[in-house]
Amino acid sequence: MTRFAPRSVVHARGVGALLVLTVVTAVGTTPSAASVSHQRGSTIDRSMIWVASASAQAVTAYPVSSTGKVHPAEAVGPVRDPSAVWDPWGVAIGPKGTVLVQSFLSDATTFAFAPTSTGSLVLQRTFRIDGPDTRALTVEPDGTAIIATGEGPAELESTSATAAGQATSLYAVSSLHQTHTDEAVWHPWPSVLATGPTGVIAMAVVRRSGNALETWPENLTGAPTVVSGLGTQLGRCALSCTQLVVAAASSTKSWLVGVSGGGQTKVVRFPFGTHGNVAPNCVLAGPKTQLGNELITGLASSPATGDTYVLAKSAEFSGAGEVLRFGPAACGDVAPLSTFTDAATGFSSAMGIAVSS
On whether the CB atoms of residues 152 and 97 are closer than 8 A, the answer is no
Full domain range(s) for residue 173: 4-356
On whether the CB atoms of residues 174 and 165 are closer than 8 A, the answer is no
Categorise residue 229: left if φ over 0, alpha if ψ from -120 to 50, beta otherwise: left
H or E element that contains 146: strand 145-149
**What span, in angstroms and rounded, lies between the C-alpha atoms of 222 and 245?**
23
- The DSSP-derived string for 26-53 is ETT---------EEETTEEE--EEEEEE
**Average pLDDT in the chain:** 88
Which CATH number goes with the domain that contains 60?
Answer: 2.120.10.30
On whether the CB atoms of residues 236 and 283 are closer than 8 A, the answer is no
On whether the CB atoms of residues 31 and 60 are closer than 8 A, the answer is yes
Tell whether the model's pLDDT for residue 17 goes beyond 60.
no
Tens of pLDDT, residue by residue over 195-240, are: 998 899 999 999 999 999 999 998 898 899 999 999 999 999 988 9
Mean pLDDT of the region 166-174: 97
In the chain, the number of structural domains is 1
Tens of pLDDT, residue by residue over 99-148, are: 999 999 888 999 999 999 988 999 999 999 998 899 999 999 999 999 99
244: confidence class by pLDDT, cuts 50, 70, 90: very high
Q: What is the pLDDT of residue 3?
A: 35
In the chain, the amino acid numbered 92 is: A
Tell whether the model's pLDDT for residue 26 goes beyond 80.
no
Q: What is the pLDDT of residue 39?
A: 29
Tell whether the model's pLDDT for residue 25 goes beyond 90.
no
**What span, in angstroms and rounded, lies between the C-alpha atoms of 121 and 211?**
38
**What span, in angstroms and rounded, lies between the C-alpha atoms of 91 and 107?**
17
Tens of pLDDT, residue by residue over 53-80, are: 998 789 999 999 999 999 999 999 999 9
